[in-house]
Amino acid sequence: MNKDISLVVNGEARYINVPADKTLLDMIREDLNLKGTKKGCDAGDCGACTVLLDAEPVNSCLVLAVEAANKEVTTIEGLAKGGELHPIQAAFIKHGAVQCGFCTPGMVLAAKAILDKNPNPSVEEIKEGIAGNFCRCTGYKKIVDAVLASGRNIQG
Amino acid sequence: MNYQTVGHGLVKIDVMEKVTGTAPYVDDLVMPGMLIGKVLRSPYPHAAIKRIKIEKAQALNGVKAVITNQDTPRVKWNSAGFPPSQGAILVEDQYILTDRARFVGDGVAAVAAVDEKTAQLALDLIEIEYEKLPHVLGQDKAMEPEAPIIHEGVEKNIVGHLPIVIGDVEQGFKEADFIFIDKYTCQRVNQVSIEPCGAVVALYDANGRLNLWTSTQMPHLVRRIVARAMDMPVGKVRLIKPHVGGGFGSRLGAVNEPIAAMLSKATGKPVKLIYSREESFVGSESRHPIIMELKTGVKKDGTFTARQMTAYIDAGAYATHTPSFAGPVGGWFLAMYKSPNVKYDGYSIYTNTPPCGAFRGYGNPQVVWAVESQVDEIAERLGLDPREIRLRNHPCKGEVWAWSGWEIESCGLEEAIERGSQSIGWENRIRQGSNTKENSNQGQETVHKVGPETKKKGIGMAYMMHVSGARPMLHETGSAFIKMNEDGSVNVVYSSSDCGQGSSTALSQIAAEELGLPINMVHITQFADTDTAPFDIGSHASRQIYSGGNAVKVAAGIVKKQVLEHAATMLEVSASDLAIENGQIICLQDETKTKSVAEVAYNALYGTNGFEISGVASLEPPGNPPVYAAQFVEVEVDTETGIVKVIKVAAAHDVGTAINPVCVEGQIEGAVQQGLGYALTEEMVFDEMGRLQNPNLTDYKILTVKDMPEIDSIVVQAASQTGPFGAKSVGESGLVPTAAAVGNAIYDALGIRIKDLPITPEKVLGLLKAKS
C-alpha cells in the first residue's frame, strides 16, 4: 500500500508517494536520490544512516518514510550553504577526522544535533551524542577533537 | 630533512567529497535497467544438494535469472588476492556457487530481479533437497581421525603444513636455563568495515566484456581472480574501484564479484549485489582463530636458546588465503626475537565454518598475542624489566631480519620504548614494584594499586615488528604513470586502492615533493580503472607508501628530468643548472633565466616537435624495511565484575619518515580501536550447528566512542634507506601488539594470565576465583 506524503527535505518542500513499509533511509536514497546517507547495517546499530528529523538525530533505517510526513528532514546534502561548508564539516577536514568516509555523513549530523542544542559541549557530552555512530577507521579521537573545535567555532 | 610537502599533515585529497556526502560508493551507483542480486545460503554446516528446483522462482514476475552450481563455469578457483609467487600456495577448491554446502551461509543459488523485494521473494521459492552430512567445528577437532572429511582427499582436513627449521631446537632446549611451555588461542573476529563487505555492480556488456564496479583493495588482482572464476580472459574483464568504505583486509580478494558477474551474464543487464551486514559476516573472510603451542628456552641472562611454535590455523570451509597465510605466521614468529634455533610448524585445517582470510596484520596480531604474553612471563621469572628483554633480543639495524632474509635498514624501537614509557608512566609502575624479581612471588599483595579496593590498576607493554610490503614472499609489481598538463599540473595515474587510509594523499605528496610542485598541482586517480591504470598488486601488507611510493617517485623523477631538459632548451642553459621550486624553474647560475613549469609543459605540448611530458615506472620495490612498535597500556580491572577498563594506550610506532603525520596518527588511533576490540570484546560466536550467533553490530561488539581510552600516538621516524624520502609503513601495525599489551597490563594488575582471547569478564573472574 502506498501513501502520499509531504515533507521538507533540506529546506525544500517535497511530495512523495511511498510504500507504507518503506524506511526513511530507503526513501532518501532511492526516491529522493540523496546518496550521502549511508546504509551500514539497516538495523539501527551503526548510525551511518543518521539524519535529522525535526532537528532530532534518528537512524533513518528505523523510521518509516510515512513517519516523516509533515516533518523536516536534514541530510548531509543540506549542510553546506551557498558553497560554504558548515563549520562542523570544515572542522572534520581540519582535524583529519575523515578516513573511509562511510560513517562521516551520519557522524557530522549527529554532531550537528549536539551543537545545535549546546554550542559548547564537554568531551563527555560529545561522546554521549555520537555513541550511536560507529567508526572503524579513526578510533574516534580526531572526530571528538573536530566536534569540540567546531563547538568553539560556532560560538564565535 | 626539510621538505616542502613531505612530512606535512596536509588535508586529505578526498575529504571535501566525503564531508558533503557526494563521494560515490558502490551502493550509490545506479545504471539504466539495473537489476538487484541476492544469494541463497545453506542453512546447514555440511550438506550435499540432492535436488534443486528453481521453476517457481523463475516464474515469479520480475525475476530475470536464477542460477545454481549447474550454471557455474566448470573451474575451481581460489578467492585470495595473491600474485602468483613462491609464497602463494593457492588451493583451488570452490565453485562460484557450491553443490555441497560446507558452512552455514555457503552460497547455493542466486537470483537477479527488478527490485530487492522480488529478489528476496524469489529466494524463498527455490526448493532444495539437502542430504545432511556430519560436520566439524574447531581446528583441533577437525584433525582428529574420526572427523568428517570436508573436501575429498584432504586427510584429517589438513590442507597445508608449512614447516620452518633453523638450527636444532632440541639442542637449544638442552642449553636453556629455563623452558617455558604455553598454549595460547585466539578467536575469530570480523573486519566490520562500516560499508559492509561485498558490494559490486557487474555489467557483462554486449561486446562480451565484463565490467565490475566493486569495493576492493586490489583492483588488478581481483580482476585476475574473477577472470579465472568466470573462465574468461583477463583482458575481457574491466574493474573500476569507486570509494571504499573501509577495507582492513576483508576486500583482499574476490568477495561476491563472480556471483554478480554470472547474474549479469545471464541477464545482459547490470546487476547490483550488495551484501547485508549479516551476509558480510558470513559471506566474506574473517580473522583466523589459531591455537599456538609455544616452547621457549632461555638463559638466565634473558637470551633465547631455542624458540618453537606449532600453529593450528582454522581455515574455515575453503582454503582461500590459509595455506599461504601459514607462511607469514611463521615469519612473524621467527623474526621477532633472535635465537640460534627456531622451529615452526603451521597447519591449515578445514572446518565447517565460513572461510578465514586477511585482516589487518595478517597473522601478526595472533602471533604477537602469544609470544609477547609469554615473553612477559619470561621477563618476570628472570627478574628483567619487560622492556629490557625486548631490547636485548630484538633484531636491530644492520642485522638480518629473518622475515625477509634482508638486512634491516633502520630501527626506532629503542626510541619507541623510551617515549612510550614516558607517556604511560612506566617508572611509576616499577616503583610500585609489581614486576621486579624480588616481589614477583608475593602474589596479590604486590598488585594492589592506587584506587578503591575492588579496582586494580596495572600497566603492560608489548612490542612488534611488521612489514612495509610483501617481498620476498610475493612478487610486488607496482606501477605509476605521470603525465603533465599544459597548466603544469600532473595527473598521477595509479591503480589506487586507497580505502580511506590516506595513501592517495601521501602518494600525491611524494609526487609533489619529487617534482617541486605545490600539492594542488598534483591530481591522482582516485578511482582505479584496470583498463587505464598501470598494474599494481593493491592495498595490503602496509605496502602503499613504500612500494607504491617508490613507483610514484621514480615516475616523478622521469617527468622532472623531461621538464628540466625541455626548460634547458627553452632557456638555452644546461639542464644540470636548473631546479624546480614550487612550480617554477630556477636557474642556479642566473636568476633572470626562469620559466614556470606551466610554460614549459605548454611549450612541450604545442611547440615544434610537440610531445607530452610523461613518465612511467613499473617495478618491484627494492626491499621491505620492517617497522617497529611498542605499545603501553594502562588498565583498571573491577575484581567484582571482571570488567577491564582501558585507561590509556601509548602507541609508539617507528614508521620511517612520516609522509603525512596526521594520516599516520589516524592509522594508529583507528588500529588501536580494532586492537582493543580484539583484546576484550569482539568474537564471532558459533553454536554447535555452525550457525553464527552474532552477525550484527548489537551482539558483535566493536568499541564505540564511549569505550575508547586516551590514546597517545607517538610517531618515531627512523628513516629507511630505500623507502621514498625514508618512509616505511604504518597501515596494519597499530593493532598488532595491542591485545598482548592489554593482557600484560591485566597480569600486572591482578597476577592472572589469560591465554585465550578475548579477555572477557567471565574469564577474568574465573581466573581470579581459581587464584584465590
Q: Which ipTM was obtained for this model?
A: 0.98
Percent of chain A past pLDDT 70, that is, above it, reads: 97
Enumerate the β-bridge partners of residue B681. Answer: none
- The tally of CA atoms less than 13 A away on the side-chain side of residue B137 is 16
Instruction: With CA atoms as reference, report the closest residue to B155 among B350, B319, B325.
Output: B350
Nearest-neighbour CA in chain A from B225: distance (Å): 25
What residue ranges define each of the domains in chain A, with the CATH number in brackets? Answer: 2-78 (3.10.20.30), 87-155 (1.10.150.120)
State pLDDT tens for residues B244-263.
999 999 999 999 999 999 99
Residue of chain A nearest B673, judged by CA positions: A139
Q: Do A136 and B673 touch (CB under 8 A)?
A: yes
**Which amino acid, one-letter code, is at B451?**
G
Enumerate the β-bridge partners of residue B101. Answer: B47
State pLDDT tens for residues B429-461.
865 544 443 344 444 444 445 555 899 999 999
- Whole-number Å distance between alpha carbons of B77 and B95: 7
Minimal Cβ distance to A131: which of B25, B243, B706:
B706
B740 CA to centre of own chain: 18
A98 touches chain B (CB under 8 A): yes
In contact, B510 and B549? CB cutoff 8 Å? yes
Q: Which long-range contacts (CB under 8 A, 24 or more apart) does A6-14 make?
A: A6/A69, A6/A70, A7/A68, A7/A69, A7/A70, A7/A71, A7/A72, A7/A73, A8/A71, A8/A72, A8/A73, A9/A34, A9/A72, A9/A73, A9/A75, A9/A78, A10/A34, A10/A73, A10/A74, A10/A75, A10/A77, A10/A78, A11/A78
What residue ranges define each of the domains in chain B, with the CATH number in brackets? Answer: 15-20+477-619 (3.30.365.10), 31-133+191-282 (3.90.1170.50), 415-462+627-771 (3.30.365.10)
- Whole-number Å distance between alpha carbons of B292 and B303: 22
Residue ranges of the alpha helices (H) in B362-465?
A: 364-382, 386-393, 413-424, 426-432
pLDDT the model gives residue B143: 98
A87 touches chain B (CB under 8 A): no
In contact, B184 and B369? CB cutoff 8 Å? yes
Phi/psi for B691 (5° steps) reads -90, 130
* Helix, strand, or coil (residue B707): helix
Phi/psi for B369 (5° steps) reads -55, -50
What is the count of residue pairs from A and B with beta carbons less than 8 Å apart? 168
pLDDT the model gives residue B496: 77
At B751, list the grid cell: 597476577
For residue A137, which residues of chain B lie inside 8 Å, CB to CB? 194, 246, 500-501, 666, 670
A69 touches chain B (CB under 8 A): no
- Beta-strand pair A72-74/A2-9: parallel
- The per-residue DSSP string of B336-347 comes to HS--S-EEEEEE
At B59, list the grid cell: 516464474
In chain A, positions 40-59, which contact chain B (CB-CB < 8 Å)? 40-43, 45-46, 48
Instruction: With CA atoms as reference, report the closest residue to A81 among A38, A112, A40.
Output: A112
pLDDT the model gives residue B475: 94
- The per-residue DSSP string of B289-306 comes to PEEEEEEEEE-TTS-EEE
Minimal Cβ distance to A99: which of B25, B28, B501:
B501
- Whole-number Å distance between alpha carbons of B732 and B629: 11
| Rg of chain A on CA atoms, in Å | 15
At A15, list the grid cell: 511530495
**Which amino acid, one-letter code, is at B174?**
K
Which site among A10, A52, A99, A127 would you substitute to test the B interface, given the most B Cβ atoms closer than 10 Å to its Cβ?
A99
Per this entry, what is the length of chain B? 772
pLDDT the model gives residue B435: 44
Mean pLDDT over A147-151 rounds to 93
Minimal Cβ distance to A103: which of B23, B27, B194:
B194
Is the pLDDT higher at B496 or at A129? A129
Q: Do B711 and A94 touch (CB under 8 A)?
A: no
Q: Which residues of chain B have pLDDT under 70?
A: 430-452
Instruction: With CA atoms as reference, report the closest residue to B703 among B692, B715, B711, B714.
Output: B711
In contact, B225 and B253? CB cutoff 8 Å? yes
Residue B308 to residues A79, B54, B179: CA-CA distances in angstroms?
58, 53, 11
